[in-house]
């Protein structure tokens, strides 16, 4: 009889729960959550230059790194690797990591921005060195790196909600007309050509890091037109294909195909030649906290050199060194450093022309053609994992019917079978609006408004999450990503930053025009090695 | 004609075709009536057990209710044909939904018998009204001698049709829920046919609307029967369910028919008491028989304690560590006397330690050295299970396996899914172990496969204890022989980032099950 009662209770529980789910609509109770983002007040202090003059003695130091995003941390990591210790890293925010920062709650850590790193190319030597040091590359097979299987993205990687059903991958596989299929195959073939093409200078047409790409005009001319124009010219016009390519552009650049250059659009598809044993070259490394794992490890290496809540607000060359003025946001005081080298690892829109004087000396607009794509990222805590008709839950889950980019699942790499609560990181690049309009939206919309947008979008993809949303934390990125607009390869401001000689060096993914971890890391390492050379500190180059 | 005019008290004239429709309807209503009775009886014995009692009392109650209906027919003084149509519509609604309703209500109501007998009585009363009314409607068409003969003949023929259709066609092909709806539709079809035949004689609007509404609800029920079937899981299993419970990890269902007890996890059969000894002897003894000193044994999965029972028969084994995800499973098989008897109370043995933990996490954190490891997980039907068959997982297990130790892995059917089966061997080899496949015939599963693995080459010689029911040295050796249809073939290595096994498993079993 005990069995009988149990059986009834369970079946009853099931039916009642199903009924409750059908009846229970969206309550009007506010969803718990927070609205946060890059510290605009501190950022705008820089714009308005309202800092007190430095007090106290001038401190002598080898290297100052201005900015603690991926590039700044990579520069610091590189210096520490060379056993160089006379350096400080100043970060305006309370924590380092830039776009790769992460958060955490009782259920899981989660990304606030960048959430994966593709298996690096053979040419990304410094990055590979670091991944080996961090235990992400665990060995070699015939000289080819072997990646830690626990840190490679577990299967199922991606799924797409297309015509009411979840399909594997990000491109619809069924119900395509013949014309679309032909165009899709032709596009893939074209990208495969670009992937293996080399220029007359012997370099790959598209490399990662991009600085190692060929300068052959045959490829560089793709910088003159937009990706959309190039696609039109090539006859890649099928709406399903274009929707997919638009998704890719917005995913990597936060921008529409009309806004990015053909060179950048093609780079996304043609530059990835991941070098790994066991066929893992086309995989990604990912962690619950996204690239937060990488920046956390880099910062851990140089913890004692980092000062957060500090703004570098003025850099002036003095002899073969520089005077660096730094404002401490907590103490509300300024100090001056005499550095033998400065690495400007701030985004260009902060650095130029307010902080760094050299830029104003050129005969071009120091602000360059730099534009930044704003984003909204929401971390949604749910009491049960999403489901849906078709293939099961993947790491990256995308809907063809949504303007958002879908969501990644923080607990995807977990080995346990627990179907318990999880955190979904939901991404929306504000690419349709002008950056100014979009930033205004970011400033003025209230938490509840963003939460309603996120909730409605998520429930449209996954009605099964009705009643399962526990909280929504919204993160605003006013200047999330540099936009690789047509002409960015020849922008004189970009070239001036790259060519800037010591003592003032530049390091940021803005110099690549591509807001990618690999790019920022490369720029950071390059600047650090240039600084070491300038300081006559012996080291073995990683590049 | 005069007779007929006189007979129809409300001045109704039955058209000529009506008599045919009415006689056909005797056949239909008789068939339907018996079907509802059989449905109720079968359902009652299915859900409540003790089929003799259930069938007797349901049939008795039903026949008694028919008597009540026949007696009540005397109170129908006017509009016999209209009353008959309404009775048909009501029977269609009640009878058609009876099976679905009873299945769905079963878990919800306190005393299921009250609902069951109320429904049986209601249908019985309505069915009891049918034949007296029909006889009265038809009494002027035929001579009394002919009328009684016709009606009763069709009535009994209908009963025969029902009693043959029900067990041979309806239940096996449609299932009980759909059977109810199909015969409900037959009832309502009779009502609608009569209404259409009468359309010139009387106003049929309201009755037709009611009949069509009932028909629509039955069609809706028929098309969603699968969903209802899933909801009312008791209808899903072929055997009476004696225990069903949803744990955070899985649905545990135990069924029993006679002496055959079966465990299902998420609808997949895990064992049948009729032949589980074949499975568990094949899982355990090829391993223990190849280890000189199997002192420490690790069982991953196997929360039913049956593998542990087999291991404990070996006096050389000093300690068994059993890791199963689901505490409710191990508690169930430890604390329920009937189930603990199956595993000889292995889960209460002082030689056994049970850890309720996720196996992957457990092996990653575990230290120690095991002389024998038995990996007995459910088939890789989903990604979360597929992780437990990956190279990364086997590397962790290999770390825990003593240098001279031997392990085995439950590896699905080499006959149904040869590519999946051999993927396990390829994956064990990729993890740096030597692997050898073997297979056994387990009637309730079919041809079933396992894979031995070790740090050293696996020998042919095996030492088996006395008293096994399935394995002898000769039959053990034969298990390692694979005929061409199950022979080894090249397969990928199953890894966390490709889940090759889940994919091939779905493909091969999907093809097999159609």
In the prediction, which pLDDT does A23 show? 39
Would the pLDDT of A7 be above 50?
no
**Whole-structure pTM over 0.80, yes or no?**
no
Q: CB count, 10 Å around CB of B143?
A: 9
A332 touches chain B (CB under 8 A): no
Q: Residue A435 to residues A98, A438, B7: CA-CA distances in angstroms?
A: 19, 5, 89
pLDDT digits (tens, 9 = 90+) for A243-256: 999 999 999 999 99
In the prediction, which pLDDT does B249 show? 78
Cα angle A257, A260, A266 (rounded to 5 degrees) comes to 80
In the prediction, which pLDDT does B48 show? 67
In a structure prediction context, what are the per-residue pLDDT tens digits for chain B, which is 514 residues long? 334 433 444 434 455 577 788 888 888 988 998 999 998 888 877 666 566 777 889 999 999 999 999 999 999 888 888 899 999 999 999 999 998 888 777 656 667 788 899 999 999 999 999 989 988 888 888 888 888 888 889 889 988 999 998 888 887 788 788 899 999 999 999 999 988 888 888 888 888 999 999 999 999 998 888 777 666 655 566 677 777 777 777 778 888 888 889 998 877 889 999 999 999 999 999 999 999 999 999 999 999 999 999 999 999 999 999 999 999 999 999 999 989 999 999 999 999 999 999 999 899 999 999 999 999 999 998 888 999 999 999 999 999 999 999 999 999 999 999 999 999 999 999 999 999 999 999 999 999 999 999 999 999 999 999 999 999 999 999 999 999 999 999 999 999 988 899 999 999 998 887 6
Give chain A positions within 8 Å (CB) of B385: 417
A154 touches chain B (CB under 8 A): yes
CB contact under 8 A, B497 and A153: yes
In the prediction, which pLDDT does B53 show? 79
Would the pLDDT of A11 be above 60?
no
- Residues A344 and A356 sit within 8 Å (Cβ to Cβ): yes
Residue pairs spanning A and B at CB distance below 8 A: 90
Q: Alpha-carbon distance B436 to B452, whole Å?
A: 5
How many whole angstroms from its chain centre is CA B291?
A: 40
The strands making up A35-37's β-sheet, listed across from edge to edge, are A35-37, A469-482, A372-382, A422-429, A407-409, A396-399, A158-162, A165-168
In the prediction, which pLDDT does A424 show? 97
Q: Quick one: pLDDT band at residue A262, thresholds 50, 70, 90?
A: very high
CB contact under 8 A, A7 and B243: yes
- Could you tell me which chain A residue has the CA closest to the CA of B324? A417
CB contact under 8 A, B244 and A415: no
- Residues of B acting as catalytic residues: 376
Q: Which residues of B30-62 are buried (b: 16+ CB within 10 A; e: fewer)?
A: bbbbbbbbbbbbbbbbbbbeeeeebbebbbebb
Element (H, E) at B397: helix B391-400
Range from A6-10, A128-132, A180-184, A289-293 carrying the lowest mean pLDDT: A6-10
In the prediction, which pLDDT does B238 show? 63
Q: Quick one: pLDDT band at residue A10, thresholds 50, 70, 90?
A: very low
State mean pLDDT over A391-401.
94
Q: CB count, 10 Å around CB of B387?
A: 27
Would the pLDDT of A194 be above 70?
yes
Could you tell me which residues are beta bridge partners of residue A226?
A: A261
Helix ranges, B198-326 (H): 205-223, 225-231, 276-288, 306-312
Q: Which residues of B440-476 are buried (b: 16+ CB within 10 A; e: fewer)?
A: bebebbebbbbbbbbeeebeeebebeeebebbeeeeb
Alpha-carbon dihedral angle through residues B323, B329, B335, B339, given to the nearest 10 degrees? -110
In the prediction, which pLDDT does B514 show? 62
CB contact under 8 A, A283 and B497: yes
CB contact under 8 A, A155 and B497: yes
Nearest Cα of chain A lies from the Cα of B364 at a distance, in angstroms, of 10
pLDDT digits (tens, 9 = 90+) for A72-104: 999 999 999 999 999 999 999 999 999 999 999
- Could you tell me which chain A residue has the CA closest to the CA of B395? A149
Q: CB count, 10 Å around CB of B349?
A: 18
Q: Quick one: pLDDT band at residue A362, thresholds 50, 70, 90?
A: low
A8 touches chain B (CB under 8 A): yes
Q: Alpha-carbon distance A97 to A299, whole Å?
A: 8
Task: Write out the two tokens for A328.
Answer: 């401490």
Give chain B positions within 8 Å (CB) of A419: 248-249, 384
The values of phi and psi at residue A514, to 5°, are: -125, 120
CB contact under 8 A, A15 and B383: no
Task: Write out the two tokens for B272.
Answer: 């049948």
Helix ranges, A119-238 (H): 125-133, 178-196, 217-220, 227-234
pLDDT digits (tens, 9 = 90+) for A32-72: 999 999 888 888 888 888 899 999 999 999 999 999 999 99
In the prediction, which pLDDT does A29 show? 74
Element (H, E) at B93: helix B80-105
Task: Write out the two tokens for A57.
Answer: 């003695």
3-state class percentages of chain B: helix first, strand second, coil last, to nearest 5: 60, 15, 25
Closest Cβ–Cβ partner in B246, B361, B495 for A415: B361
Among A3, A411, A415, A419, pick the best mutation site for testing chain B contact (most B Cβ within 10 A): A415
pLDDT digits (tens, 9 = 90+) for B342-352: 999 999 999 99
State mean pLDDT over A413-423.
82
Classify residue A92 by burial, with Cβ atoms within 10 Å: 0-12, 13-18, 19+. buried
In the prediction, which pLDDT does B11 show? 38
State mean pLDDT over A476-489.
93
- For tokens 């309730």, name the residue: B444
Nearest Cα of chain B lies from the Cα of A139 at a distance, in angstroms, of 14
Would the pLDDT of A143 be above 50?
yes
In the prediction, which pLDDT does A222 show? 97
Radius of gyration in angstroms for the set of CA atoms belonging to chain A, rounded to a whole number: 24
- Residue B194: partners with Cβ closer than 8 Å, 6 or more residues away: B18, B21, B22, B25, B81, B84, B85, B88
CB contact under 8 A, B498 and A155: yes
Q: Alpha-carbon distance A277 to A260, whole Å?
A: 33
Task: Write out the two tokens for B74.
Answer: 């005397």
- Of B100, B61, B81, B59, nearest to B9 by C-alpha is B81
Please, what are the domains in chain B? Answer: 2-235 (1.20.1250), 275-513 (3.40.50.150)
- Of B272, B265, B226, B213, nearest to B244 by C-alpha is B265
Closest Cβ–Cβ partner in A13, A154, A417 for B358: A417
- Could you tell me which chain A residue has the CA closest to the CA of B105? A12
Would the pLDDT of A374 be above 50?
yes
In the prediction, which pLDDT does A184 show? 96
State mean pLDDT over A105-131.
96
């Amino acid at each position: 009889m005990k069995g009988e009662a149990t059986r009834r209770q369970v079946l009853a529980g099931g039916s009642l729960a199903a009924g409750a789910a059908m009846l229970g609509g969206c309550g009007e109770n506010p969803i718990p959550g927070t609205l946060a983002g890059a510290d605009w007040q501190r950022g705008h202090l820089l714009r308005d230059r309202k800092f007190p003059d430095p007090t106290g003695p001038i401190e002598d130091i080898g290297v100052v790194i201005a900015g603690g995003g991926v590039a700044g941390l990579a520069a610091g990591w590189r210096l520490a690797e060379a056993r160089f210790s006379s350096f400080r890293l100043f970060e305006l925010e309370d924590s380092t990591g830039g776009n790769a920062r992460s958060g955490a709650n009782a259920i899981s850590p989660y990304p606030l921005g960048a959430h994966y790193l593709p298996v690096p190319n053979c040419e990304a030597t410094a990055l590979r060195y670091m991944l080996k040091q961090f235990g992400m590359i665990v060995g070699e097979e015939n000289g080819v790196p072997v990646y830690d299987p626990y840190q490679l993205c577990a299967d199922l990687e991606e799924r797409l909600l297309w015509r009411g059903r979840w399909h594997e991958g990000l491109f619809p596989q069924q119900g395509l007309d013949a014309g679309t299929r032909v165009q899709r195959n032709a596009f893939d073939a074209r990208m495969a050509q670009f992937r293996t093409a080399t220029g007359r200078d012997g370099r790959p047409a598209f490399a990662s890091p991009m600085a190692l790409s060929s300068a052959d005009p045959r490829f560089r001319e793709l910088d003159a037109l937009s990706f959309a124009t190039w696609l039109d010219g090539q006859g890649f016009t099928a709406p399903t294909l274009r929707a997919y390519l638009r998704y890719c552009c917005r995913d990597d650049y936060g921008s529409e195909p009309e806004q990015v250059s053909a060179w950048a659009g093609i780079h996304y598809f043609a530059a990835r030649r991941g070098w790994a044993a066991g066929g893992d070259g086309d995989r990604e490394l990912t962690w619950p906290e996204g690239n937060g794992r990488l920046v956390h490890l880099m910062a851990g290496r140089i913890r004692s050199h980092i000062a957060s809540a500090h703004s570098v607000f003025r850099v002036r060359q003095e002899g073969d060194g520089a005077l660096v003025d730094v404002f401490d946001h907590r103490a509300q005081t300024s100090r001056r450093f005499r550095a033998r080298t400065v690495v400007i690892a701030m985004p260009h829109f902060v650095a130029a022309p307010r902080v760094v004087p050299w830029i104003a000396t050129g005969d071009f607009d120091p602000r360059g053609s730099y534009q930044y794509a704003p984003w909204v990222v929401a971390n949604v805590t749910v009491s049960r994992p999403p489901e849906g008709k078709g293939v099961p839950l993947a790491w990256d889950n995308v809907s063809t019917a949504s303007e958002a980019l879908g969501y990644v699942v923080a607990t995807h790499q977990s080995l346990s079978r627990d179907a318990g609560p999880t955190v979904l990181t939901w991404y929306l690049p504000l690419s349709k609006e002008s950056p100014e309009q979009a930033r205004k939206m970011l400033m003025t919309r209230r938490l509840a408004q963003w939460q309603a947008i996120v909730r409605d979008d998520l429930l449209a993809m996954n009605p099964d999450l009705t009643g399962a949303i526990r909280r929504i934390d919204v993160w605003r990125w006013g200047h999330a990503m540099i936009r690789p607009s047509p002409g960015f390869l020849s922008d004189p401001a970009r070239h001036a930053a790259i060519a800037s000689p010591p003592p003032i060096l530049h390091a940021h993914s803005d110099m690549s025009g591509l807001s990618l971890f690999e790019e920022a890391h490369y720029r950071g390492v390059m600047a650090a090695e240039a600084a070491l050379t300038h300081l006559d500190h012996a080291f073995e180059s990683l590049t | 004609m005069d007779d007929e005019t006189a007979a129809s008290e409300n001045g109704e004239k039955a058209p000529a075709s009506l008599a045919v429709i009415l006689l056909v309807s005797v056949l239909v209503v008789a068939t339907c009536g018996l079907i509802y009775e059989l449905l109720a009886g079968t359902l009652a014995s299915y859900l409540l057990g003790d089929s003799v009692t259930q069938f007797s009392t349901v049939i008795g109650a039903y026949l008694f209710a028919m008597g009540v209906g026949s007696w009540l027919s005397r109170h129908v003084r006017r509009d016999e044909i209209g009353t008959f149509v309404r009775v048909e519509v009501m029977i269609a609604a009640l009878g058609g939904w009876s099976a679905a309703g009873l299945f769905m209500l079963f878990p919800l109501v306190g005393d299921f018998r009250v609902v069951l007998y109320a429904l049986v009585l209601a249908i019985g009363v309505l069915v009891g009204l049918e034949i007296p009314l029909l006889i009265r409607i038809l009494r002027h068409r035929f001579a009394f001698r002919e009328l009684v003969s016709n009606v009763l003949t069709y009535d009994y023929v209908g009963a025969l049709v029902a009693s043959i259709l029900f067990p041979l066609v309806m239940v096996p092909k449609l299932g009980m829920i759909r059977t109810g709806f199909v015969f409900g539709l037959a009832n309502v079809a009779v009502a609608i046919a009569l209404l259409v035949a009468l359309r010139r004689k009387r106003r049929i609007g309201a009755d037709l609307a009611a009949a069509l509404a009932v028909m629509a609800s039955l069609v809706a029920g028929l098309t969603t029967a699968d969903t209802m079937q899933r909801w009312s899981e008791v209808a899903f299993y072929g055997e009476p369910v004696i225990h069903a419970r949803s744990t955070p990890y899985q649905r545990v269902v135990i069924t029993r028919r006679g002496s055959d007890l079966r465990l299902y996890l998420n609808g997949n059969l895990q064992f049948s008491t009729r032949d589980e000894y074949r499975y568990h002897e094949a899982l355990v003894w090829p391993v223990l028989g190849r280890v000189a000193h199997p002192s420490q044994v690790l069982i991953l999965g196997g929360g039913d304690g049956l593998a542990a029972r087999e291991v404990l028969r070996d006096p050389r084994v000093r300690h068994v560590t059993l890791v199963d995800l689901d505490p409710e499973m191990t508690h169930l098989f430890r604390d329920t006397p009937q189930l603990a008897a199956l595993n000889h109370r292995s889960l209460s043995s002082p030689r056994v330690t049970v850890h309720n933990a996720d196996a992957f996490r457990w092996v990653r954190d575990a230290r120690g050295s095991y002389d024998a490891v038995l990996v007995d997980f459910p088939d890789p039907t989903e990604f979360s299970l597929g992780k437990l068959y990956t190279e990364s997982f086997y590397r962790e297990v290999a770390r825990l396996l003593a240098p001279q130790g031997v392990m085995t892995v439950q590896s699905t059917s080499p006959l149904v899914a040869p590519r999946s089966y051999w993927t396990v061997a390829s994956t064990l080899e990729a993890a740096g172990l030597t692997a050898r496949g073997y297979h056994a015939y387990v009637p309730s599963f079919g041809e079933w496969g396992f894979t031995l693995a070790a740090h050293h080459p696996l020998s042919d010689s095996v030492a088996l204890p006395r008293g096994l029911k399935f394995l002898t040295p000769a039959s053990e050796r034969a298990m390692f022989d694979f005929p061409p249809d199950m022979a080894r073939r090249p397969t990928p290595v199953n890894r966390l980032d490709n889940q090759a096994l889940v994919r091939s498993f779905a493909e091969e079993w999907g093809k097999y099950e159609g």
